[in-house]
Structure 1
Amino acid sequence: MDKSRLLWRAVTQQTPSRPISTWTCTQCLHLRQQHRALKPAQLLRRPQRRHQTQPADDPTFKSIVDNPPTLMRTGRRHNKVGLIILAAIPITAFVLGCWQVQRLTWKTDLMAKFEDRLVRDPLPLPPQIDPDAIHDFDYRRVYARGRFRHDKEMLIGPRLHDGEDGYLVITPLDRSAEFRGFTGNTTVLVCRGWVAKSKAAQAARPESLNTGEVVVEGLLREPWKKNSFTPDNKPDEGAWYFPDVYQMAEHTGSQPVWIEETMQPDLLASYDRSAKGIPIGRAPEVNLRNNHVQYIFTWYSLSLATTVMMWMVLKRPAGGRGRARRNTGW
C-alpha cells in the first residue's frame, strides 16, 4: 500500500470527526432528486425546440427595403356639391348687390320727384277726384275747404309718437257747402294727426272738435298697402288697425281720397296741441325709407368674404396640409 494512504488513514483515525454544517437550497435538492430518478440515457437527451415559421422564411417576402414608400396627400377630395353651394353664395350676393344699386337709383329718383312736388304751391282740391289719378299726384300739396264730420271720426292705432302711445285721428271733410251746384259726393278723408291715448275720447279733447268751416292743407297720398302682419279692421266695433282707404271711405260714405294734414315742426306747438288734445299733424316732408346703401355694402361685403373663403378652400389640399407615406403591393 502506498505510504501516503497509510499516513492519511493514521491521521483520520487519530483526529475525531466533527460534523460540517452546510446549507443546501430546497430547489436544488428537488432538481437533484429528479436527476437521480432519471436514467443515464435520459440525462444525455436534449430537449427539442419547436420550429416557428418566420416571415423571412417565405421566398416571396418583401421588406420595406424592397418596397420603399411614396409620399401622398392625406384626406379625401373636395365635395363637389359643397363647392357648388359655396360658389353660389358670392355670385348670389353680388347679384343682390347690383339689384340694390338699381333700387337705390329708383328710390333716389322717386324721392327727388316727391320733393319737387313739395316745393310747389298747393292746389285746390276739385270736387271729384279720380282714384286712378292719385298715383300721379302722390305727395302733392293740396288744400280743401269744408266742415269736419266728427260723428264719423275713426281712430287708427295704436300708434307711437315720441315713445308715447296714441292714435291717428281720421275725420271725413264735407265740402258740399263749397260746391253747392255739384250733385256728386264731395266728402274726402282727412288724417288730422296724432293724439295721445289719454285724449282718444272726444269728451277729453273738446277744443279739437271744430264745428265751423275750416281750411285743411295737406298732402294728397296714394292708398296704403297692408302687410301680412297687420290684423284686419273691424268697422262694426270701431277698431281700425290699418288705414284701408277704400274700406274707410265705404264706411263713412266718402270718396277714396286720403289727405294728410301738415303743420310746420314746432316743439312748443306740439306740446300745446298734445295737452289740449288737438291732433298733431305731420311735417311737410318725404318720409320714405332709404336703406339701400346699407344693403349694397352688406351684399358686396358678403360676396367678397365668401369669394376669399372659396379661394382658401380651393388653394388648400383636401383633408389638410399634411402628407403621409404609403406602401402598396404588399
Structure 2
Amino acid sequence: MRGPHCPPPLPLPPRIDPSAISDFDFRRVLVTGHYRHDQEMLIGPRMRDGEQGYIVVTPLERKDDPGATILVNRGWISKKHQDQKLRPEGLPTGEVTVEGLLREPWKKNMFTPENRPDKGEFYFPDVKQMAELTGSQPVWVEQTMNPDYFTTLEYEQKGVPIGRPAEVNLRNNHAQYIFTWYGLSLATSIMFWLVVKKPPKDITRRVRMNKNW
C-alpha cells in the first residue's frame, strides 16, 4: 500500500549502471525474480523496538537473466529466527515481485567491525563485496511494506522479514523530497531508463549535464 504522495514504482531495468544509482536514491522500483535463499546474508546485530535481530539480504535472480541478479534488503528478523529452519514462512519460493526503494546503503562508521564473509558475518552492507560473493550486480533495493500492527506481530513471530515503510522523511531537504516523490515527469522517467541501463557515454554525459531534469 502506498501513501497519497508516493509515485508509482518503475520497473527496474535488467542491467544497471552502479555509478548512476546515487542520482536515483529513493526511487521507487518494481523487480521480479526468484530469491536465492541459499545465498542469504544477515547483517547485524540490528535493534528494532529494543529487540536484537538481523537485516536479511537475499539475492533476487531476475526472471529471464540470471546475470541481472540484484541484492534485496528484505527487512528485519529477530535473533531467534537466525536459523532458516526456524522461519520457513519467511522463505518464499517461486516467482516474487518486490516493491522497494533503489538505495545507496548506509556506510560503516569507525566503530563498525569489518565484515567477515568467510565466516558469514556481516556488520554493514558492503554492496560491492556482497555482489562479488553472490555473483550479483552491486545494486541494492530496500523492500518496502506497510503492514498493520497485528500483521507486524505475526511477521515477527514467524520470522518473516519486516521491510521498511514506503514513506520516507528526508529531514527537510525539500529539493530532494520534491525530486524523489514528485519527479514523475516524462523527462525524469526517460532519464532513469537512459542512465541506469548503461547508455553510450555521450548520451549519459548529456543527460547528467542537464541539471534541470
Q: Tell me whether the two structures share a fold, i.e. TM-score over 0.5.
A: yes
Does the 8 Å CA contact 1:224/1:245 hold for their aligned counterparts?
no
Stretches of structure 1 lacking an aligned partner (at least 5 in a row) = 1-117, 291-330
User: What is the alpha-carbon distance in structure 2 between the residues aligned to residue 204 and residue 287 of structure 1?
Assistant: 34
Partner residue of 1:133?
Answer: 20
Partner residue of 1:47?
Answer: none
Does the 8 Å CA contact 2:107/2:124 hold for their aligned counterparts?
no
* TM-score, normalization by structure 2: 0.75
Alignment partner of 1:246: what SS? helix
Aligned with residue 209 of structure 1, among 81, 84, 91: 91
Partner residue of 1:64?
Answer: none
Aligned with residue 256 of structure 1, among 138, 143, 153: 138
Task: Tell me: CA distance 1:243–1:214, structure 2 relative to 1, closer, same or farther (3 Å).
Answer: same
Bigger share in strand:
2
Bigger share in helix:
1
User: What is the alpha-carbon distance in structure 2 between the residues aligned to residue 129 and residue 223 of structure 1?
Assistant: 16
Structure 1 moving runs of 4+ over 6 Å: none
User: What is the alpha-carbon distance in structure 2 between the residues aligned to residue 160 and residue 217 of structure 1?
Assistant: 24
- Which residues of 2 match residues 231-242 of structure 1 at below 5 A? 231-242=113-124
Provide the alpha-carbon RMSD of the alignment: 1.5
Partner residue of 1:178?
Answer: 64
Partner residue of 1:75?
Answer: none
1:131-171 deviation per Cα after TM superposition (whole angstroms, max 9, x unaligned): 11111110010010000000000000000111111000000
- Which residues of 2 match residues 96-111 of structure 1 at below 5 A? none
Does the 8 Å CA contact 2:40/2:57 hold for their aligned counterparts?
yes
Partner residue of 1:275?
Answer: 157
User: What is the alpha-carbon distance in structure 2 between the residues aligned to residue 236 and residue 268 of structure 1?
Assistant: 38
Does the 8 Å CA contact 2:54/2:77 hold for their aligned counterparts?
yes
User: What is the alpha-carbon distance in structure 2 between the residues aligned to residue 163 and residue 169 of structure 1?
Assistant: 18
Stretches of structure 2 lacking an aligned partner (at least 5 in a row) = 173-213
User: What is the alpha-carbon distance in structure 1 between the residues aligned to residue 24 and residue 121 of structure 2?
Assistant: 30
User: What is the alpha-carbon distance in structure 2 between the residues aligned to residue 163 and residue 136 of structure 1?
Assistant: 34
Partner residue of 1:159?
Answer: 46
Alignment partner of 2:155: what SS? helix
Amino acid at match of 2:48: H
* TM-score, normalization by structure 1: 0.49
Identity of aligned residues (%): 63
User: What is the alpha-carbon distance in structure 2 between the residues aligned to residue 161 and residue 279 of structure 1?
Assistant: 12
